[in-house]
Amino acid sequence: MDFKIAVLAGDGIGPEISVQGVDVMSAVCEKFGHKVSYEYAICGADAIDKVGDPFPEKTFQVCKDADAVLFSAVGDPKFDNDPTAKVRPEQGLLAMRKKLGLFANIRPVQTFKCLIHKSPLRAELVENADFICIRELTGGMYFGEKYQDNDKAYDTNFYTRPEIERILKVGFEYAMKRRKHLTVVDKANVLASSRLWRQIAQEMAPNYPEVTTDYMYVDNAAMRMIQEPAFFDVMVTENTFGDILTDEGSVISGSMGLLPSASTGERTPVFEPIHGSWPQAKGLNIANPLAQILSVAMLFEYFDCKEEGALIRKAVDASLDENVRTPEIQVAGGAKYGTKEVGQWIVEYIKKA
């Protein structure tokens, strides 16, 4: 199989972890006889500095023409600390999702046995946690009508039936592939938009009789994720709730540097770590590359290359078991490994497998 990959390294630690993801993808393609080519493009603060646009048209064309996008992170303190800034790196991320029609964000939440002690939750709560958060990406308050002046502001949480139906379809289909349990998260006791979500979910549920479908208010879901994360199998929700809940779910594993994600929809899918750009660590060779590497596993799996994805996951597990880890997850007294060293250890494991 031939792969044409758009690589968007972005800001902060993005370029450092991006290299490791590309190296792993190249090693797997070589091992399995796939041809792969890469085209690099700018985004985020880097693109603002260079061309004044966080997702320039040229970058969009590179993404549109690719089979998949391997994305890293955007964000920079000089924009975070300036509330008057008219252009921000994160606008590039929203533009990419909108222009590529990426309406479904898929975030697996899982734990690693050797890292359960790193979770802020008790081991007996998290040891069996394994669920997927599916977040709607292109609707809701992030894209609805907005207004702000000195005295008032509003964001409109706007959804249409087709938008809700297509993301719920993704949720039901993932549930069918897993343990056949779907939780629809909303705030139907307060929000009209949530009541439409629940109504449509109830209409669709009979089409998936094998799936146990339950409904949960977002505040209850947030508590349940902490009290009993193993309860969930597949969770589906709207954009704003999903943004919050997926970040909450990410800490269950013990480090945001461990979890990948995929954004899929109408055009080219995007695969990326769930974490941000961590600008304070830029150039220090301490960022954990595992989420970026596991996003490559998700990329292969998306294209039904299951053996390739499984090999990457096996290599990541082996690196953790051998204590080849970046500082934030290293055991006390363990050897020092940086971003490059962890990435290259995994590449060598793949080559020898």
Render pLDDT for 44-64 as a digit per residue (tens, 0 to 9).
999 999 999 999 999 999 999
CATH topology of domain 1-102+266-352: Isopropylmalate Dehydrogenase (3.40.718)
DSSP letter for each residue of 150-175: SS-EEE-----HHHHHHHHHHHHHHH
Q: 1-102+266-352 and 103-260: same fold?
A: yes
For residue 127, pLDDT beyond 90: no
Alpha helices in 109-160 (DSSP H): 123-126
Q: Residues within the annotated binding site for substrate?
A: 97, 107, 135, 219
- pLDDT given at position 219: 97
**Residue spans per domain, the chain:** 1-102+266-352, 103-260
Q: Residues within the annotated binding site?
A: 97, 107, 135, 219, 243, 247
How far is the C-alpha of 286 from the C-alpha of 279, rounded, in Å? 12
What is the pTM for the complete model shown?
0.89
Catalytic residues: 142, 187, 219, 243, 247
Q: Both tokens of residue 179?
A: 């343990």
Alpha helices in the chain (DSSP H): 14-32, 44-51, 57-65, 77-80, 89-100, 123-126, 161-177, 192-204, 218-227, 239-250, 290-302, 306-321, 339-352
Residues 6+ positions from 148 with CB-CB distance below 8 Å? none
* CATH class, 103-260 region: alpha beta
Tell whether the torsion through CA atoms of 221, 222, 228 and 231 is positive or negative.
positive
- Percent of the chain at pLDDT exceeding 90: 81
